[in-house]
């Protein structure tokens, strides 16, 4: 089958580690199912994998990709849940110490087929296209959990989203708008700030800009470049939910600000299968849809990776294994 894989890793030149070519179709273990993929989407996670973050050399070559939608062996339209839990685990998927994301231990979705545990396929509701559904299991699920489950901010609250152009960030803008939050964003790019407002953000600011008032919660995936601004922008008792560190993982913790203002710092990763089902329902009931920057045939995956590495995206890159 055609697949996009990490064949080596490179911290400095991740694109050199990417190969799109033929791989053996995966075997189907007991209790697992095969999904023929119609669409997959890229995440920053795939770039981290090419850099060797979370992907040791002894697992190479590894088919990349966390997100996909297609049909199961009965011909049903399905979405693939990307969090694979340990056998017998019954708690929150994201808190299983043995959990992995597709493409970390098991082959991922940037391929014609993927094999996953039976519980990891979720019906795709009519009304959502395969391309839209393929955007949801990582960036959108992460955004949903950050905002709805972790932020502690009720609808009507003001939420700041750092780095407006990203996959997670555009999801936060759309979901925030659809569920009744006042959404403010920052972005390095003027055109991305404009596009975020067209998408539903109530206001957009340059990185580090002073806000009109303090916010109830901050959605942080940028890391070092925006952390100080995130803490400075919170009202006393406010919450920063952190799910990524694209620009670096080690800003000053600013502990005095955290304890003096009673701030909450909440880490968040992916989401549960139940949250994915609720996210799918939310899109159906609100009409909200993922922002797709571009769709490419799988054999042109490198173009999507290059755009992501350059930060030259607004929303998601969708790849089509069928061309
Ligand atoms: N914990 C989880 O479960 C989880 C799930 C998904 C993603 N993540 C992490 O979250 C991060 C975002 O993922 P993604 O897929 O949304 O990535 P993405 O689509 O590549 O977006 C990254 C965004 O970060 C901003 N950014 C990058 N470098 C920056 C810098 N130096 N200064 C300011 N802003 C910068 C950019 O926003 P502007 O260009 O608009 O400024 C860019 O659009 C990644 O680190 C990823 O690993 C974590």
CA-based end-to-end distance of the chain: 13
| Residue 323 binned pLDDT confidence (cut-offs 50, 70, 90) | confident
HEC secondary structure over the chain? CEEEEECCCCCCCHHHHEEEEECCCCCCCCCEEEEEEEEEECCHHHHHHHHCCCCCHHHCCEECCCEEEEECCCCCEEEECCEECCCCCCCCHHHCCCCEECCCCCCCCCECEEEEEHHHEEECCCCCCHHHHCCHHHHHHHHHHHHHHHCCCCCCCEEEECCCCCHHHHHHHHHHHHCCCEEEEECCCHHHHHHHHHHCCCEEECCCCCCCCCEEEEEECCCCCCHHHHHHHEEEEEEEEECCCCCCCCCCCCHHHHHHCCCEEEECCCCCHHHHHHHHHHHHHHCCCCCEEEEEEHHHHHHHHHHHHCCCCCCEEEEECCC
Distance 144 CA to ligand 1 centre (A): 16
What pLDDT sits at residue 144? 98
- pLDDT surpasses 90 at 47: yes
Per DSSP bridges, beta strands 215-220 and 234-242 are parallel
Percent of the chain's residues with pLDDT above 90: 98
Distance 164 CA to ligand 1 centre (A): 9
The tens digit of pLDDT for each residue in 4-23 reads 999 999 999 999 999 999 99
Threshold 0.85, pTM exceeds:
yes
The mean pLDDT value of the chain amounts to 97
The tens digit of pLDDT for each residue in 105-134 reads 999 999 999 999 999 999 999 999 999 999
How many angstroms separate the Cα of 323 from the Cα of each of 38, 132, 295, 298?
9, 16, 10, 6
> Whose alpha carbon is nearest atom 21 of ligand 1?
166
The tens digit of pLDDT for each residue in 140-179 reads 999 999 999 999 999 999 999 999 989 999 999 999 999 9
Mean pLDDT of 82-102: 97
What pLDDT sits at residue 146? 98
Kindly list the protein residues whose Cβ atom lies closer than 6 A to any atom of ligand 1.
43-45, 48, 138-139, 142, 163-168, 187-189, 192, 207, 221-222, 225-226, 243-247, 269-270, 308, 311, 313
The tens digit of pLDDT for each residue in 233-286 reads 999 999 999 999 999 999 999 999 999 999 999 999 999 999 999 999 999 999
- pLDDT surpasses 90 at 92: yes
What pLDDT sits at residue 43? 96
């Amino acid at each position: 089958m055609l697949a996009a894989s990490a064949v080596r890793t490179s911290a400095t030149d991740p694109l050199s580690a990417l190969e799109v070519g033929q791989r053996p179709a995966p075997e189907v273990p007991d209790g697992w199912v095969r999904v023929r993929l119609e669409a997959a989407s890229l995440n920053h996670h795939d770039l981290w994998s090419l850099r060797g973050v979370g992907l040791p050399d002894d697992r190479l070559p590894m088919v990349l990709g966390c997100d996909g939608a297609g049909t199961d062996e009965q011909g049903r339209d399905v979405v693939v849940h990307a969090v694979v839990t340990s056998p017998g685990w019954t708690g929150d998927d994201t808190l299983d110490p043995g959990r992995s994301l597709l493409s970390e231990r098991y082959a991922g979705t940037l391929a014609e087929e993927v094999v996953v545990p039976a519980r990891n396929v979720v019906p795709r509701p009519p009304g959502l296209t395969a391309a839209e559904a393929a955007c949801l299991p990582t960036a959108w699920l992460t955004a949903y959990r950050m905002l709805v489950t972790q932020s502690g901010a009720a609808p009507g609250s003001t939420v700041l989203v750092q780095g407006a152009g990203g996959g997670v960030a555009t999801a936060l803008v759309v979901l925030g708008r659809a569920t009744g939050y006042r959404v403010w964003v920052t972005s390095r790019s003027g055109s991305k700030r404009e596009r975020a407002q067209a998408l539903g953000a109530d206001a957009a600011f340059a990185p580090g800009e002073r806000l009109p008032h303090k916010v109830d919660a901050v959605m942080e995936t940028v890391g070092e470049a925006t952390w100080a601004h995130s803490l400075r922008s919170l009202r006393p008792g406010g919450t920063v939910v952190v799910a990524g560190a694209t620009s670096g993982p080690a800003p000053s913790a600013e502990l005095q600000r955290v304890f003096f203002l009673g701030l909450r710092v909440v880490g968040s990763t992916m989401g549960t299968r139940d949250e994915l089902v609720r996210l799918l329902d939310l899109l159906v009931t609100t009409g909200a849809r993922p922002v797709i920057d571009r769709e490419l045939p799988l054999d042109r995956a490198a173009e999507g990776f290059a755009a992501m590495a350059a930060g030259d995206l607004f929303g998601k890159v969708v790849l089509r294994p069928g061309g």
